[in-house]
Amino acid sequence: MEIALVLLLFLIVGFIIFLFMKKVDVFLEECRNTSLQNPGNGENEIRIICENPMMLSYVLEKTEQQKEFEQTSFYFYTGSREAAKRALTNEICDIALFLAEPENPEGGEYQRKSCSFTPNPFLEARTGVEIEPVERQKTRMYVLWKEKNVTEIEHRMISIL
């Protein structure tokens, strides 16, 4: 009698575990299908680092005018000149913006482009603080990127700068 109860208990526990694992499988399959429909592999992401936040106002102004960037996620970083070089070398960022012509960072072939921009006021999204430039003179900006890592959307971004 006791053996029958233990066996019945094991059957019930096994059946409950089976049902639970079925639910987990369905959940994981739904997650996999969602990730295939919306790939998070960086195809629609652009990571930009600059040594002066005022450069971002120019980038934002350029991207807002282009419909092709509506589905693109932008990640902006600021830091020192050396931090920007490290971020590009370590592939933390795809594009780096500098105020003075940069030397090629270690670790690969980099493409460069220069353009001029006028700093514009912009709203800092998290705090809601508007940042106003002291001067609005045209300034030269240098764009640096590693050619082999750049996606099609990043190429379009570079071309409009």
pLDDT digits (tens, 9 = 90+) for 81-124: 888 888 888 888 888 899 888 877 666 678 888 888 877 776 66
Token pair 């072939």 in the structure block, residue: 109
How much is the average pLDDT of 152-161?
79
Q: Tally the C-alpha atoms within 13 A of residue 67's C-alpha that lie toward its C-beta.
A: 0
Domains in the chain: boundaries: 1-38, 45-160
Cβ–Cβ < 8 Å for 45, 15: no
Q: What is 45-160's CATH number?
A: 3.40.190.10
Q: CB count, 10 Å around CB of 139?
A: 17
* pLDDT band at residue 16 under the 50/70/90 scheme: very high
Q: CB count, 10 Å around CB of 57?
A: 18
Could you tell me which of 52, 46, 96 has the C-alpha nearest to residue 74? Answer: 46
Please tell me the predicted confidence (pLDDT) of residue 12: 92
Cβ–Cβ < 8 Å for 69, 161: no
Please tell me the predicted confidence (pLDDT) of residue 34: 59
